[in-house]
Amino acid sequence: MVHQYKNNGFNIVLDVNSGSIHVVDDIVYDMIGLIATDKLEGSFRKVINEDDVRASSYEEVKDILAPLTDRYTEAEVKEAYDEISGLIKEDMLFSDDVYKDFVLDFKKRKTVVKALCLHIAHDCNLACRYCFAKEGEYNQSKRELMSYEVGKRALDF
Q: Per-residue confidence of the chain (157 residues) as pLDDT tens digits?
A: 899 999 999 999 999 999 999 999 999 999 998 888 655 555 665 555 555 444 446 777 777 788 898 999 999 999 998 898 888 888 898 888 888 888 777 778 887 888 888 888 777 767 676 776 665 566 666 777 888 999 899 888 7
Calpha distance 46→87 (Å, rounded): 14
Alpha helices of 3-73 — where are they, by DSSP H? 26-37, 41-48, 58-61
Q: For the purposes of burial, counting CB atoms within 10 Å of the CB of 93, is it exposed (0-12), middle (13-18) or buried (19 or more)?
A: buried
Q: Where are the domains of the chain?
A: 2-100, 121-156
pTM of the model: 0.60
